[in-house]
Amino acid sequence: MFFKRKKCTILTPPQGLGRENIRRQSSTCTGETVIGFLDPKSGRLLRAVVVRDNQDVTDFYRSYGFEPPIGL
């Protein structure tokens, strides 16, 4: 059996946003945490992903080609 391998592709961040625009936000009600790119004009998170542990944060940074911060 032959299977197609998934290619590791680096995602592109929203236009005009970079590593310095990555923020985490937590819900007051549910405690759910999301990470994404904070749009300075609207104050909204773009391309937000749910975070369950530090590995999810590391994966988010690496999926966009950035090195994760030290000491998560």
pLDDT digits (tens, 9 = 90+) for 4-31: 666 678 899 999 999 999 999 999 999 9
Q: 10 Å Cβ neighbour count for 69?
A: 11
pTM over 0.85: no
8 A C-beta contact, residue 54 and residue 41:
no
- 């004009």: which residue's tokens? 41
